[in-house]
Amino acid sequence: MIGRREFITLLGGAAIWPHVARAQQPAQIKRVGMLMGFANDALGQVSVKAFQQELERLGWAEGRSVAFEFRWAEGRSERFADFAAEFVRLRVDVILTTATPSTAAAMQATSKIPIVFVGSGDPVGSGLVTSLARPGGNVTGLSNQNRDVASKRVALLREIVPGLRRLGVMHNPGNPVLMLEMREVQEAAHTMGLDVIPLEIRHTEDIAPAFEALQGPALSLYVSGDPLVNSNALRINTLALVRRLPTMHAERAQLETGGLISYGVNRADLYRRGADYVDKILRGAKPGDIPVQQPTKFDLVINLITAKALGLAVPPTLLATANEVIE
């Protein structure tokens, strides 16, 4: 039989137990909306893996403290608005975006949910942030400095292609950053005495017809980095090889499908640093107070298999400065 003192002890324990149980419950899982402009392919997985591994290193375990909502636009920018609106309905804690168009769509959908962009070419010029030092609002992230490296790409292409006089520039006019890059390419080409042939593509169906404008000798193709382009790298490189056109790309991944040379930001490094932004925000930091950073790691990659197919002899000095040579 339980005495009065024992009964009071048990009763007190029962009163205390629910508070203890609640204290031991795991914290609410944070949700990250991943608005990916490209496809869920090898290139896309390189980015995702780098991001998730770094976030895990920072203490976020998938399924226990963080969950991911993926939306793959596969190069179709018209999907961005719907995906962004869906993230708002899901009430994700932060949205990670790729490049400028997806970031602009997320900004249209919400002014409250934090947005971290990875790979905007000109975040100030395109209106994503008010300044690099103090972005303001609910947006911050990492620039990929596409405009700053455009002239370097043109110079590299001229170095690898002797007698280059004309340059086809394939770009998506729906991406405002690429229009800024296009102007820098034209300025650099003019300085080097090259004629520029603009090739506008808004959809996959525009790619093949665009090549019809590329006829004649002393010609190369500059391909601006964009989700539409990334999703159609095989198609673009195949058509370029048929016409024996040397190509300059923004990323190494495009060389795996026959591109000649690439120079640009190391994508995996950029997404690892993007994870640091998301970590800070999930822990309470305001995106508008986190400065936009510039990339620190650039890669020059040369595909010697493609060079040989085109009959090009790559200068030894250029090979010596390459981060990687595919052969």
What's 254's domain CATH number?
3.40.50.2300
> Are 306 and 179 within one domain?
yes
> Are 100 and 173 within one domain?
no
> Are 156 and 208 within one domain?
yes
Look at residue 91 and tell me if it is in a domain: yes
> Are 108 and 192 within one domain?
no
Look at residue 171 and tell me if it is in a domain: yes
Torsion angle, alpha carbons of 289, 66, 117, 298, to 10:
110
Per-residue pLDDT of the chain (327 residues; tens, 9 = 90+): 444 444 444 444 444 334 433 333 346 899 999 999 887 877 788 899 999 999 999 999 999 999 999 999 988 889 999 999 999 999 999 999 988 889 999 999 999 999 999 988 789 988 999 999 999 999 999 998 766 688 999 999 999 998 999 999 999 988 777 788 888 999 999 999 999 999 999 999 999 999 988 887 779 999 998 888 888 999 999 999 999 999 999 988 889 999 999 999 898 999 999 999 999 999 999 999 999 999 888 999 999 999 999 999 999 999 999 999 999
| Beta-bridge mates of residue 32 | 68, 94
> Are 312 and 286 within one domain?
no
pLDDT digits (tens, 9 = 90+) for 192-225: 999 999 999 999 999 999 998 888 777 999 999 8
pTM above 0.85, yes or no: no
| Residue 235 exposure: Cα atoms within 13 Å on the Cβ side | 16
> Are 257 and 274 within one domain?
no
Residue 240 neighbours by CB distance under 10 Å: 24
> Are 117 and 48 within one domain?
yes
Residue the block writes with tokens 């970590």: 279
CA distance readout (Å), 243 to 81, 134, 217: 37, 47, 10
Chain centre to alpha carbon of residue 236: 19
Look at residue 115 and tell me if it is in a domain: yes
Look at residue 99 and tell me if it is in a domain: yes
> Are 303 and 278 within one domain?
no
Report the 3 state secondary structure along 214-233.
CCCCCEEEEECCCHHHHHCH
Look at residue 21 and tell me if it is in a domain: no
- Boundaries of domain holding 228: 146-264+299-326
Dihedrals phi, psi of 97, to nearest 5 degrees: -120, 160
> Are 78 and 129 within one domain?
yes
Q: How many helices (H) and strands (E) does the chain have?
A: 12, 12
Torsion angle, alpha carbons of 246, 249, 254, 257, to 10:
-10
Look at residue 44 and tell me if it is in a domain: yes
The number of folded domains in the chain is: 2
> Are 58 and 203 within one domain?
no
> Are 322 and 225 within one domain?
yes
Look at residue 214 and tell me if it is in a domain: yes
Look at residue 139 and tell me if it is in a domain: yes
Q: Closest by alpha carbon to 120, among 277, 1, 6, 2?
A: 277
pLDDT digits (tens, 9 = 90+) for 30-87: 999 999 988 787 778 889 999 999 999 999 999 999 999 999 998 888 999 999 999 9
> Are 42 and 165 within one domain?
no
Chain centre to alpha carbon of residue 325: 23
> Amino acid identity, residue 116?
V
